[in-house]
């Protein structure tokens, strides 16, 4: 079963506008973490933001915020004031606790959304 | 954030040969993770490398094909053995900032092309 779903293969946004990238997840764990990464064409994976399942506040990091709706199992990334340099692939990922109760720390990734910022 | 380097950054290899990828971290970490990203795809975990023990492989990945070493807390290698064109991918190592793994950082990746 797919655990991380990103339904938008590609998105366009006008420079300086805000954009929301969707992510839904599936887990039966009570404790988990949600991540967003940016991957430009160079291939590196850039950590953007983290949200813990017990965090009551939505995470924010500069122009990035994570709209966490636990009951709906969604963790959408909001990028405010888009810049040309934001054009990249964006991956949502989840860290689960393993069956034996310990978190191995490894991540499960969605298929990604390609964001293109138009001047 | 942790500073992670990988060598080589890219390589073009012949079918049937092997390539060893190195991952160096600027601080001691308990676990290191190796991921594969096939062209146009998302990332898939190959294995978790814990210092002082055998690596733990995910379903679909075996030690004979992807042997891993973890000689100390700052270094790991992944070997891609007996390569075929299907092994053409980006290989990335990753570490957590601390034991919470709430911030996880990736190396710059090794872009492998197998002819």
Contacts of A44 in chain B (CB under 8 A): 106, 108-109
Minimal C-alpha gap between A89 and chain B (Å) = 10
CB of B59 within 8 Å of a chain A CB? The answer is no
B98-to-A17, B29, B32, B58, B108 alpha-carbon distances in Å: 35, 7, 11, 22, 20
pLDDT for residue A37 is more than 80 = yes
pLDDT of residue A101: 45
> Are A111 and B104 in contact (CB < 8 Å)?
no
pLDDT for residue A103 is more than 70 = no
Which of B6, B8, B99, B101 would best serve as a mutation to test chain A binding (most A beta carbons within 10 A)? B101
Contacts of A59 in chain B (CB under 8 A): none
CB of B90 within 8 Å of a chain A CB? The answer is yes
Closest CA to A53 of A108, A94, A22, A21: A94
Residues paired with residue A5 on neighbouring β-strands, in sequence order = A24
> Are B42 and A105 in contact (CB < 8 Å)?
no
Dist. CA A36–CA B51, nearest whole Å: 27
Counting residues of chain A whose pLDDT is more than 70, the rounded percentage is 91
| pLDDT tens per residue across span A40-73 | 998 899 999 999 999 889 999 999 999 999 999 9
Q: Which residues of chain B have pLDDT under 70?
A: 1, 98-101
Task: Using pLDDT thresholds of 50, 70 and 90, give the confidence band for residue A100.
Answer: very low
pLDDT of residue A97: 65
| pLDDT tens per residue across span B33-65 | 999 999 999 999 999 898 878 888 999 999 999
Minimal C-alpha gap between B61 and chain A (Å) = 15
Mark residue A112 as left, alpha or beta (left: phi above 0; alpha: psi -120 to 50; beta: remaining).
left
DSSP letter, residue A41: T
> Are A104 and B44 in contact (CB < 8 Å)?
no
């Amino acid at each position: 079963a797919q655990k991380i779903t990103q339904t938008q293969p590609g998105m366009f946004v006008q420079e300086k506008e805000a954009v929301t990238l969707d992510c839904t997840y599936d887990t039966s764990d009570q404790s988990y973490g949600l991540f967003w990464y940016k991957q430009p064409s160079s291939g590196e994976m850039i950590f953007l933001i983290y949200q813990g399942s017990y965090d009551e506040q939505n995470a924010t990091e500069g122009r990035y915020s994570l709209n966490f709706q636990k009951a709906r199992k969604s963790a959408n990334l909001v990028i405010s004031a888009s810049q040309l340099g934001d054009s990249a692939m964006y991956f949502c990922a989840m860290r689960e606790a393993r069956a034996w109760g310990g978190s191995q720390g490894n991540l499960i990734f969605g298929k990604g959304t390609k964001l293109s910022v138009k001047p | 954030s942790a500073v992670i380097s990988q060598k080589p950054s890219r390589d073009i290899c012949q079918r049937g040969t092997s390539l060893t990828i190195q991952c160096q971290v600027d601080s001691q970490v308990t676990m290191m993770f190796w991921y594969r990203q096939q062209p146009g795809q998302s990332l898939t975990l190959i294995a978790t490398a814990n210092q002082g023990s055998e690596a733990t492989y995910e379903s679909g990945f075996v030690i004979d094909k992807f042997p891993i070493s973890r000689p100390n807390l700052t270094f790991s290698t992944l070997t891609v053995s007996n390569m075929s064109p299907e092994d053409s991918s980006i290989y990335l190592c990753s570490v957590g900032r601390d034991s919470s793994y709430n911030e996880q950082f990736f190396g710059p990746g090794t872009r492998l092309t197998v002819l």
